Amino acid sequence: MNMIERINELFEQLSRVKSVPNDYVSLVEERLTLICRPPDRLRRMETARPKREYNLHDRLKRARRIYLEVLEVFPSIFLPFIMTVSPNSCRSWKTSDVRKNLQSCKSAALSGEVLNDLENIAKRVVPLPKPKTNTESDGAWFYSTADVTRARHFLNKDLYEAFENSPRRTREKENQLLTSTQCIRMSFPRYDHQDATVQLDIGFHDSIVKALFPTAWERFLTVHGTELTNVESSQLAREPAIAEIYDNACFTFRGASTSSIPIIFGSSLSQGIEESQLRAWEIKNFVLRTTDCISLDIMRSRPCEATVTLRVGWSHGIFMATKLYAFDG
């Protein structure tokens, strides 16, 4: 049986059983590892390497090129191809030969079950990296003037009070900015559906910090003492001194306790966090009790302004933005 016949036979088997046969799972893992992780460049050695090491390295590089070419030109037979054709068998191939050699192969979409099997194997072999979001560059949409009344729909009572009493919001009200605020800001990646970010100025509240970051807060107190916790309300509202304006240093807290999220942020923001790509990745990687979807920055200088940053799912973020920034008239 020649190679084309073996590929066609395996294609029919995959279509019939609708899964990757157990006998082939380890082989598929091996081939996907080669495809997703290029062979490392051979390092220089004091003594000459055996020729077989160079031959093996070149053979793996060639096989990877062939596998990728098949994936691009004939994606429907990619799986049966890598299950049939070993790296050693690719030695005589050129990428330009792929189209000519495989034209006679059967071509049809494999079942969703088979593709799910392939995806699951790939995730085991090459775990997905921690998802990023492009919300801090020119490739992002920024929204910075929110409707104060509508903000009540997304902030629970305690969080809304923390926002209303924050130094920045206090200064806004002193300047008669009563119905709009720049204390609630959102940003979205412009060209894809990565996570959105929400920034909320809440002032400094040690109860919120302690609830979200209990371990970090205890360590923080051992280093810095209780100086920040003794800030009076009059100090929170005042304008920063000239000497303090140039102090951009801040204390940053990450790894928030997930058990405190519904209590602090309420149902809407909690749902947005749960729908984020970052939270989904954390759960798949067993990061269950804490999350990097929430970070908190507290300015070192008085009046110790604080900003909480949230990662929320793109769709939930769009829903929030249409409510917060969709002004009538």
Tell me 92's DSSP state: G
pLDDT at position 211 over 90: yes
260: amino acid identity, one letter: S
pLDDT at position 245 over 60: no
**What pLDDT is recorded for position 278?**
96
CA 105 to chain centre: 38
Return the number of other C-beta atoms located less than 10 Å from residue 77's C-beta. Answer: 24
Which is nearest to 279 in space by CA: 121, 115, 125, 133? 133
Poorest-pLDDT segment among 32-36, 52-56, 257-261, 296-300: 52-56
pTM of the model: 0.69
The percentage of residues in the chain with a pLDDT greater than 90, rounded to a whole number, is 35
The mean pLDDT value for 74-85 works out to 87
**What is the tens place of the pLDDT at every residue in 28-71?**
899 988 888 877 777 777 777 777 777 788 888 888 988 898 88
**What is the tens place of the pLDDT at every residue in 118-134?**
888 888 887 788 899 98
**What pLDDT is recorded for position 100?**
74
Tell me if 180 sits within 8 A of 117, measured CB to CB: no
pLDDT at position 188 over 70: yes
**What pLDDT is recorded for position 234?**
47
Half-sphere exposure of 304 (CA within 13 A, CB side): 17
**Residue 222: pLDDT band by 50, 70, 90 thresholds?**
confident
Which is nearest to 36 in space by CA: 12, 71, 7, 6? 71
**What pLDDT is recorded for position 126?**
79
Tell me if 24 sits within 8 A of 11, measured CB to CB: no
**Residue 329: pLDDT band by 50, 70, 90 thresholds?**
very low
311: amino acid identity, one letter: R
